Amino acid sequence: MNSIYLVLFGLTSFYLGYRFYSKYIAKNIFDLDENIITPAHEFNDGVDFVPTTKHILFGHHFTSIAGAAPIIGPCIASYWGWLPAIIWVVIGTIFIGAVHDFGALVISLKEKGNSIADITGKFINKEIRIIFLIFVMLLTWLVLAVFAMAISGLFVSIPTSVIPINIEIIIALFIGIIIYKKKLNATIPSIIALILLYFFIWVGTQFPIDFQTLLNIDKSQAINIWILLLFGYSAIASLLPVWSLLQPRDYINSHQLFVGLALLFAGIFYAAPIVDAPMIRTQIEDGSPPIFPMLFVTIACGAISGFHGLVSSGTTSKQVDKLKHARMIGYGGMLGEGTLALASTLCAVSGIALVNNCTIPSVGIVENLNWAVYYDSWAHATTNKAVAFVLGGGALLEQIGISAEIAKTIMAVLVISFAATTLDTATRIQRFIINELSSSLKIKLFQNRYISTILAIIPAIILAMWKIQIPGSESFKQAGWILWPIFGATNQMLAGLILMILTLYFWKKGKKVILLFIPMIFIMSIAFISLYTKTIQFKTSNNNLLFGLGIILILLFIKMIYEGIKYYFKNKLTISVNK
- Angstrom distance (rounded) from CA 33 to CA 539: 51
Residue among 141, 139, 125 nearest 559 (CA): 125
Percent of the chain with pLDDT over 70: 97
Residue 579, pLDDT > 70, answer no
178: left (phi over 0), alpha (psi -120 to 50) or beta: alpha
Residue 105 has pLDDT above 80, yes or no: yes
**Which helix or strand (DSSP H or E) is residue 57 part of?**
helix 54-65
Mean pLDDT score, 568-572: 83
- Average pLDDT of the chain is 87
Q: Quick check: 372 pLDDT over 60?
A: yes
Average pLDDT, integer, range 442-456: 87
- Identify the pLDDT of residue 504: 93
Angle subtended by helix axes 404-440 and 246-271, to nearest 10: 140
Domain residue ranges of the chain, discontinuous segments joined by +: 3-40+53-578
Q: CB count, 10 Å around CB of 443?
A: 12
In angstroms, the CA 71 to CA 20 distance is 27
Q: 186 vs 291, which has greater pLDDT?
A: 291
Average of pLDDT values for 138-156?
A: 86
The span from the CA of 76 to the CA of 522, in Å, is: 22
Looking at residues 160-177, what average pLDDT do you find?
87
Report pLDDT for 526.
93
pLDDT tens, position by position, 179-237: 777 777 777 888 888 888 889 989 998 999 999 988 899 888 999 999 999 999 999 98
Closest CA to 108 of 553, 501, 573, 388: 501
Would the pLDDT of 83 be above 90? yes
**pLDDT, tens only, 455-495:** 999 999 998 888 776 656 667 777 777 776 677 788 898 99
User: pLDDT of 394-412, one tens digit each?
Assistant: 999 999 999 988 888 888 8
Q: In 15-44, which positions are buried (b, 16+ CB within 10 angstroms) versus exposed (e)? A: eebbeebbeebbeebbebeeeeebbbeeee
CB 424 within 8 A of CB 460: no
Whether pLDDT at 155 is above 50: yes
Round to whole Å and give the CA distance between 480 and 204: 29
Give the span between the Cα atoms of 212 and 412, in whole angstroms.
Answer: 18
Residue 576: its pLDDT value, please?
46
Q: Which stretches of 158-218 are DSSP H helices? A: 162-176, 187-206, 211-214
pLDDT for the residue numbered 79: 94
Cα separation of the two ends of the chain: 58
Tens of pLDDT, residues 547-562: 888 898 898 889 889 9
pTM (predicted TM-score): 0.89
Please report the pLDDT score of residue 270 as a whole number.
93
pLDDT at 543 over 80: no
pLDDT score recorded for residue 578:
45
Can you tell me the distance from the alpha carbon of 116 to that of 311, in angstroms, rounded to the nearest whole number? 10
Q: How many CB atoms lie within 10 A of CB 365?
A: 8
* Reported CATH class of domain 3-40+53-578: mainly alpha
